[in-house]
Amino acid sequence: MADRKLIAVVGATGAQGGGLAHAILDDPTGGFVCRAVTRHPASEKAQALKSAGAEVVQADLDDVSSLEEAFSGAYGAFCVTNFWEHFSAEKEKAQARNMTDAARKAGLSHVIWSTLEDTRKLMAPGDNRMPFLQEKYRVPHFDAKAEADSYFAGLPVTYLVTSFYWDNLYTFGLGPKKGEDGSYTWVFPMGDKRLAGIASEDIGKVAYGIFKAGPAYIGKTVGIAGEFLTLDRMAFMLSKALGIRIKYQAVEPDAYRSFGFPGADELGNMFQVYRDFEKEVVGARSADLASVLNPSLLTFDEWIGKYKSRIPL
Ligand SMILES: NC(=O)c1ccc[n+]([C@@H]2O[C@H](COP(=O)([O-])OP(=O)(O)OC[C@H]3O[C@@H](n4cnc5c(N)ncnc54)[C@H](OP(=O)(O)O)[C@@H]3O)[C@@H](O)[C@H]2O)c1
C-alpha cells in the first residue's frame, strides 16, 4: 500500500470518475489506490466503491477546505465538474478553481482536468449563427471548462478533452423516439457530419492510462474519442443491433434550440458546433491515442452490444 500512488477521484460515483475508480480497483497490482471523493459517502454508489476496495472521503466542490482534505497526501487527482447539475458556467469555473487551489496546497504530482474546447474561438464575436448563452458563452459547458484550463497552469496537469457519451442515449433522454406508426426517429441538428463519440466508462480508463504513463502526459492536452460516425451510420448500426427501424432526422439547430426541454439551447449550440466545425472538433480528438491509453476502448458497435438493454424504446 505504502508504495502505491493514491489518486483522489472527483466524480468517482459518476460516469467519468467511476470509469477511473473501477480501472484502479480492477488492477490491484497496477501501483495505484483509489480515494473516491463524494458528497454522499453513505450513498449506494459510494458504498459499492468502498466494498470494492476504495477509500471513500466526503468533499464538496463548493467547499475548498473539504477538497484540501480530500487531496491531502495524494499523488494525483482526477478533476471533473458536473455542469448538468446546476447549468451554470460561473459555478463550474468556481468549482474548478477550488480544485486547483486544493491541488496546489496538497502539492500533487499529477492532476488530470476533464475539459472541453472554447467554442467561442471557432466563431468571430459578431457571428450570429447561434445565440450567446449566459451572456458570453456559445456552449457554456464547453467554454467554462476551457476558461478553467488557465487555473491549472503551473500545476503538473494533463488536459483531457472528452467526447459526447454514447451513454446519453439512456442517461440523457437522447435516444430514438417511437412514432405512431411504430418506427423510430432520431433527431439531431448534425446534418451529415460525424459525431465524436465515446463510451463514458472509457474516459476514466484513458485517465488511468495517463496516470500510469507517469510524466509523459504532464503539460499535454489529450483529446479522445471512441469513434467518429455520422448519425445516419449510427442509426443504421443501432437499427441492426436492436432489430428495429431507426431513422435519423436532421433538423436545423434553430429548430432544436426551440424544443424547450431544459438545456435545449445549450445542446442546440453544441450540436451546431459539431456540425459546422466538424473538422476542428474531430481533429482535436484521437481514437488511436485513446486506444493506446486504454486498450479496451469500445467501438460504437461494442458499446451497443454492452449497453443496448438500457436504451429505452
Ligand atoms: N454527457 C456527455 O456526453 C459529456 C461529454 C463530455 C463531457 N461531459 C461533462 O461531464 C461532466 C459530468 O461528468 P459525469 O458525466 O462523469 O458526471 P455524472 O455521471 O453525472 O456524475 C456527477 C459526479 O459529479 C460529482 N459531483 C457533482 N457535484 C459535486 C460537488 N459539488 N462536489 C463533489 N462532487 C460532485 C458527483 O458526486 P456525488 O453526487 O457522489 O457527490 C458524481 O460523482 C459535465 O460537466 C459534462 O459537461 C459530458
DSSP of 131-172, one letter per residue?
--BTTTBSSHHHHHHHHHGGGGTTSSEEEEE--EETTHHHHS
Q: What pLDDT is attached to residue 1?
A: 57
Output the nine-digit C-alpha cell for 207. Answer: 485517465
Exposed, middle or buried by CB within 10 Å (0-12, 13-18, 19+), for 49? buried
Please state, in angstroms and rounded to a whole number, the distance separating the CA atoms of residues 140 and 238. 30
Please state, in angstroms and rounded to a whole number, the distance separating the CA atoms of residues 170 and 176. 10
Please state, in angstroms and rounded to a whole number, the distance separating the CA atoms of residues 212 and 107. 19
Cα separations in angstroms, 178 against 10, 247, 303 = 37, 10, 22
Q: What DSSP character marks residue 70?
A: H
Q: How far is the CA of 226 from the centre of ligand 1 (A)?
A: 19
Output the nine-digit C-alpha cell for 45. Answer: 454508489
At 197, is the secondary structure helix, strand, or coil?
strand
Closest ligand 1 atom to Cα of 39: 41
Q: What pTM was estimated for this model as a whole?
A: 0.98
Q: What pLDDT is attached to residue 61?
A: 99
Q: How far is the CA of 11 from the centre of ligand 1 (A)?
A: 6
Indicate the top mutation candidate among 82, 92, 198, 271 to test ligand 1's pocket, ranked by most ligand atoms within 8 A of CB: 82
Please state, in angstroms and rounded to a whole number, the distance separating the CA atoms of residues 44 and 40. 9
Closest ligand 1 atom to Cα of 62: 31
CB-based pocket (< 6 A), ligand 1: 10-17, 38-40, 43, 60-62, 80-85, 141, 162, 164-165, 168
Q: Considering only CA atoms, which residue is closest to atom 43 of ligand 1? A: 11
Closest ligand 1 atom to Cα of 95: 31
Considering only CA atoms, which of 83, 92, 145, 88 is closest in space to residue 118? 145
Q: What pLDDT is attached to residue 70?
A: 99
Please state, in angstroms and rounded to a whole number, the distance separating the CA atoms of residues 197 and 163. 5
Output the nine-digit C-alpha cell for 31. Answer: 501501483
With beta carbons less than 8 A apart as the criterion, state whether 54 and 34 touch.
yes
Q: Strand pairing of 184-188 and 177-178?
A: antiparallel
Q: What DSSP character marks residue 299?
A: P
Tens of each residue's pLDDT in the chain, 313 residues = 568 999 999 999 999 999 999 999 999 999 999 999 999 999 999 999 999 999 999 999 999 999 999 999 999 999 999 999 999 999 999 999 999 999 999 999 999 999 999 999 999 999 999 999 999 999 999 999 999 999 999 999 999 999 999 999 999 999 999 999 999 999 999 999 999 999 999 999 999 999 999 999 999 999 999 999 999 999 999 999 999 999 999 999 999 999 999 999 999 999 999 999 999 999 999 999 999 999 999 999 999 999 999 999 9
Please state, in angstroms and rounded to a whole number, the distance separating the CA atoms of residues 183 and 180. 7
Please state, in angstroms and rounded to a whole number, the distance separating the CA atoms of residues 118 and 213. 27
Q: Considering only CA atoms, which residue is closest to atom 25 of ligand 1? A: 11
Listed as own residue / partner, the contacts of 294-297 with beta carbons closer than 8 Å and 24 or more positions apart are 294/202, 294/205, 294/206, 294/208, 294/209, 296/202, 296/205, 297/199, 297/202, 297/205, 297/206, 297/226
Q: Where are the beta strands (DSSP E) in 194-236?
A: 194-198, 221-223, 227-230
At 282, is the secondary structure helix, strand, or coil?
helix
Closest ligand 1 atom to Cα of 16: 16
Please state, in angstroms and rounded to a whole number, the distance separating the CA atoms of residues 8 and 111. 9
Q: Report which secondary-structure segment, H or E, holds 113.
A: strand 110-115
